[in-house]
Chains A and B, each alone.
Chain A
Amino acid sequence: MSFVWLWTDLMVWSLLFVILAGIRSIKNSEQARKQWRSIFESRVAMASMVILTFYFVFALLGSVHVQLTSNGENTSEKRQGVYSVLDLSLMHLIEQTERTYSAPFATHEYSTSLNFDENGQVSQSYLVLKHGGQHLMDGASIWLDVLGKTGLPLLLTLGIMALLLMVHAYFRFKIYEFRGINDKAKKLPWKTAYISLFSLLFLFIWFYYLSHFYHVLGTDKVGQDVLLQSIKSIRTGVLIGLLTTLVMLPLALILGISAGYFKGWVDDVIQYLYTTLNSIPGVLLIAAAVLVMQVIITNNSDWFGSTEERADLRLLFLIFILGLTSWTGLCRLLRAETLKISQVEYVSAAKAFGLGPFKIIKNHILPNLMHLVLIALVLDFSGLVLAEAVLSYVGVGVDPTTASWGNMINQARLEMAREPMVWWSLFSAFVFMFTLVLAANLFSDRVQMVLDPRRVN
């Protein structure tokens, strides 16, 4: 077993590093700490953040890849290849595939098939699943069984929560000892945070436990577990939402600030650049760029050792293309704001003292742009997660072998036309995506409300 670092893995972990550095700098600045405190004073924002963090943890787990080789006696032939840590913990789902469609919690296949009994008689019947519900006695109720399997996960979740609470209480106690209890300060809605964390954790542990016995969200056309696909898709969605901003941010910052600060021909050139890019319809520019990328990938198939690497490079390209096409909006905002700030007296004073342009930008302009950057980042996230689905549907999204909600919806489109309807793939993709996007939207609303001085409430 050896670690494999795909390109997007490295980017996610460096993003985590950036986020941690950001949190550190927030802690060091009095003003920023107050602002973030007031963001989290909203119960909605707190619950949204818990959900977003939960998703992000899954994305992180999906971003550590290991290469399994067959030199150990225990590893079967089937297990060779590149797996993420998330895959390894869901190994039972990867291996327990069925023949074809089966509904959530089903014990039999979803549609009848012809089969021959011992006497050579042909009959139409629902075949029994290989794995789903096979521990049940004949005639036992599924729902009673599921109910019986609730206690253990509930206890486990309660245990984890109790542990967390104890650690939290200990630190709070230390803080109170240090500063004295300040009753005037508005308290953060920790109760909401714990309730939402409890429900998420319980749902996950419960489903995880049940998934050893059932296909909780059914199986798809080739018998793959839908729960597995939905969970694996989290990484794709979160990555596209977060990493694109990592690509777009430096571009928007450098170009926007230099246009606003240096003015003159620099401004003209940068304005020309973003007007040109902006006037090309977004989807078409992305589609054209992805088409080029596809041709390059097919022409140079020897670049990649495995399908995982190819799929990963395609995801990376997609992120870069999305980043290169989406910096214009933020750039225009930053340019206008920089123009305004560079007229202010303290900037003129700094210039009179002989400070160089880079010092002025770093010390006086950049800090005053941070709220715009933050608002743009949280606003873009949900849009990008939704865009992934549309792009995958159009055929210019992630690789078809990559698990993504877009690919799931794309497949589900044909399944809905079947009789009887196969609804669970679409349903799962819907629930997973909706939760993430809703949380992101609610959180970005709160961030905007607190950070944007112009916003009216």
Chain B
Amino acid sequence: MFAYIIRRVLFALPILIGVNFITFALFFMVNTPEDMARAQLGAKQTTPAMIQSWKIDHGYDKPLFFNSESPGLAKVQETLFVQESMKLFAFDFGQSDSGRQITADIYERMWPSLAIALPTFIIGLVTNIALALLIVLFRGSALDTATMMVAVAIMSISGLFYIIAGQVLFSKVWHWVPISGYTEGWEGFKFLILPIFIGVFSGIGAGMRWYRSIFLEEMNKDYIRTARAKGLSDLKVLFGHVLQNGMLPILTGVVVVIPTLFMGSLIMESFFGIPGLGSYTLDAINAQDFGIVKAIVFLGSVLYIIGLILTDISYTLFDPRVKLS
């Protein structure tokens, strides 16, 4: 098991280098070191000498991918790409355009994102599975068909509408919760209710259909027929067999998502004024701050890969037939 995890982490390295390469290429396609130096030094009186010294100070004087002046291995090592990548691998994201430490900012903004994403995820998961089980009980009936129609309709509405309609109804017309904002601690609860509710509701359509199809597939298997034949009730079959065996396909979709919860949601956070990573990213996109975008892309990929590894590990926990090697 331990050796397996080590190997998976090592496999992740080339992928992360690839991710880095993509973001690096995108970054330097539009932002040459000269541009960065000019932006940092200010427009007035930038002599080539000043730019050169700024580049040396910040390590931007090296060539991008290949340093032909250095000997041996250093030909590759002494380049901007390797230098910058090493910094990212150490989770040192450097400074944003506004001069703040990106690493510290990310650490600070992770928690508000989590405060919304985690409850949304858990409540959403439980609601979807519960509704799907309920619908499976009524499979083939008119209720089933009608619910699936409603589910398709829920899926067909853009998330933006849910947010805007929710804000107008619950905050503007009925004054139940504040429109937007965030505070630390339990005081912040009133700000979180609406985004969590909207997050759960907008996911019901797709989630319910997905879990329903998993359970129905399980329902058609032979062992279920055996269980019914020996006289088990519908409910016992559902909770004793279908739910348990349906866990495996559910895990595949669910565990990958857990680490990425840290990243937050772009639109949700910006609409509700929550100072999380999502709105941080959105601000960076609008300000065209590539340093932050690069850092977030890297972080997102790392979290996604962690999610994949966690999925594999969770398989061994839930299915004794799966052995990692």
On A, residues with C-beta under 8 Å from B are: 272-273, 275-281, 283-285, 287-289, 291-292, 294-296, 382, 386, 389-390, 393-396, 409, 412-413, 416-417, 421, 426, 430, 433-434, 437-438, 441-442, 445, 455-456
Q: Chain A binding site: helix, strand, loop or mixed by DSSP?
A: helix
A288 and B30 CA atoms in complex are apart in Å by 11
Residue contact B22 to A276, C-beta cutoff 8 Å: yes
Known A-B contacts A284-B300, A394-B282, A438-B152; A275 and B15 likewise in contact (beta carbons under 8 Å): yes
B186 within 8 A of partner (CB): no
User: Does chain A have a CB within 8 A of B266?
Assistant: yes
* Identity of the chain A residue whose Cβ is nearest the Cβ of B209 in the assembled complex: A445
Within 8 Å CB of B159, what residues of A? Answer: 386, 390
A-B contact pairs, 27 of them (CB 8 A): A275-B15, A276-B15, A276-B19, A279-B15, A280-B23, A281-B297, A281-B300, A281-B301, A283-B266, A284-B300, A288-B23, A288-B290, A291-B293, A294-B288, A382-B156, A390-B159, A390-B267, A393-B160, A409-B161, A413-B164, A416-B168, A421-B172, A430-B157, A434-B156, A437-B157, A455-B213, A456-B220
Q: Give residues 11-42 of B contacting A (CB, 8 Å).
A: 14-15, 18-19, 22-23, 26, 29-30
- For residue B15, give the distance in angstroms from its CB to the closest CB of chain A: 5
Kindly state the separation between the CA atoms of A434 and B260 in the bound complex, as whole angstroms.
29
Q: Are A281 and B263 in contact (CB under 8 A)?
A: yes
Which of the residues B19, B30, B285 comes within 8 Å of A295, measured between beta carbons?
Answer: B30
Given A289-B26, A430-B161, A437-B281 contact (CB < 8 Å):
no
- Considering the complex, give the chain B residue whose CB is closest to the CB of A457: B216
| Cβ of A29 to closest chain B Cβ, rounded Å | 29
CB–CB B297/A280 < 8 A:
yes
In the assembly, what is the distance between CA of A386 and CA of B260, in Å? 22
**CB closest residue in chain A, given B301:** A279
- Contact B297 A389, beta carbon cutoff 8 Å: no
User: Contact: A284 with B158, CB < 8 Å?
Assistant: no
Q: Which 4 residue pairs of A and B lie closest in terms of their CB atoms, listed nearest first?
A: A276-B18, A281-B300, A295-B30, A438-B156
Closest A residue to B205 by beta carbon equals A441
Select B29's contact among A292, A394, A433, beta carbons within 8 Å: A292
With A390-B267, A442-B152 as given contacts, are A280 and B19 in contact (CB-CB < 8 Å)?
yes
Asked whether B19 lies within 8 Å of A390 as measured between CB atoms, the reply is no
Most-contacted residue by chain A among B158, B161, B217 (CB, 10 A): B158
CB distance from A455 to the nearest CB of B (A): 8
B155 within 8 A of A: yes
| Contact in complex: B158, A433 (CB < 8 Å) | yes
Q: Is B296 among interface residues, defined by CB-CB distance under 8 A?
A: yes
Residue of A with least CB distance to B299 = A281
Nearest B residue to A275, CB-CB? B15
Q: Are A284's CB and B15's CB within 8 A?
A: no
Residues of A within 8 A of B266 (CB): 283, 390, 394
Q: Given A291-B285, A296-B30, A438-B153, decide whether A389 and B160 contact each other with a Cβ distance below 8 A.
A: yes
